Amino acid sequence: MAVSPLQEIHDERLSERGVRLWLKRDDLIDAHITGNKWRKLKYNLAAATESGHDTLLTFGGAYSNHIRAVAAAGHRFGFATVGVIRGEERLPLNPSLAYAADQGMRLTYLDRGTYRRKTDAQVVDTLKREWGDFYLIPEGGSNALAVRGCAELPHEIDLDFDLICCPSGTGGTLAGIAAGLAPGQRALGFSVLKGGEFLNEDVADLQIQAFGRPSGNWAVQTGFHFGGFAKKPPELTAFIGDFFDRHALILEWIYVAKMMYGIFALAESGAIEPGTRCVAVITGPPGPEQALDAPGRAGSPGELVGRR
């Protein structure tokens, strides 16, 4: 896969505050195995091959980006895939799951109670009886190998920067990026879940699993969840529309837009200090659902370029 490009954006709301911002366009890594999901899968796919597995099994919600990425990776690299989905089957499949099924992923469902216990040996054994032996990738794809994959991101950035920001769900991306920084650089993760304080512990744990110790150069920002996971109040919708008008880029709304809103707010308040050179990781493109109601409703990337 290609190295994702770095682009500076010019926005007077930042320049007035003396903040410079570059976008690390991981949304352009690949059309199917998107964004940070490719970085997290890369070494897991190698480990699955080395351990002789031909099937990948993973977990996720019905709109999970991770489920789609695993389905696409299996299709491309020759693994059978099983997606264990939280909740009941709903037909017809939504566009996310229809895509996964189309890539050859077999879908199975766990009620919410069992789903919560999905990593218990008992539940995993039941899945093994049903699906045969598999290489297990955790929900959201975050494990030590995923963290190692994400740690490569900063090395691709040929620029002196002070701060790198990413949205956080499970924290695997933040754990890796922070571990890959040079001395003096810092990472900031924006929790997209309410109660994101849990990330302080989870990110440290993931760094210990991957590298033996926490890196201490990162923090979690918990104030920009907008009501919780996959909540989109009008304020966020307006921000996405305005950002599109200014920069011709549709921000993926579940993760990326919340981080971006947070960066602008922290620059405005001075919490991101004047003089800061900041990189924002665009961790993924809009999902198939968002394409249906995106601002500008651009049908093709070509249409996007012309506007503004």
CB of 128 to ligand PLP, least distance (A): 25
Residue 127 or 146 having the CB closest to ligand PLP: 146
φ/ψ of 180, rounded to 5, equals -90, 5
Residue 83 or 284 having the CB closest to ligand PLP: 284
Report how far residue 235's alpha carbon sits from residue 271's, in angstroms, rounded to the nearest whole number.
Answer: 21
Residue 64 or 185 having the CB closest to ligand PLP: 64
Which residue type sits at 306?
A: G
Is residue 210 within 8 A of residue 175, CB to CB? The reply is: yes
List of residues contacting ligand PLP (CB under 6 A): 35-37, 65-66, 140, 142, 167-173, 252, 255-256, 283-284
Report how far residue 68's alpha carbon sits from residue 100's, in angstroms, rounded to the nearest whole number.
Answer: 5
Which SS3 state, helix, strand or coil, does residue 27 take? helix
Q: Which residue is nearest to ligand PLP (CB)?
A: 284
CB of 11 to ligand PLP, least distance (A): 21
CB of 210 to ligand PLP, least distance (A): 12
* Pair type for strands 135-137 and 106-110: unpaired
CB of 306 to ligand PLP, least distance (A): 26
Report how far residue 87's alpha carbon sits from residue 113's, in angstroms, rounded to the nearest whole number.
Answer: 9
CB of 64 to ligand PLP, least distance (A): 8
Residue 83 or 169 having the CB closest to ligand PLP: 169
Residue 74 or 172 having the CB closest to ligand PLP: 172
Tell whether the torsion through CA atoms of 176, 177, 178 and 184 is positive or negative. positive
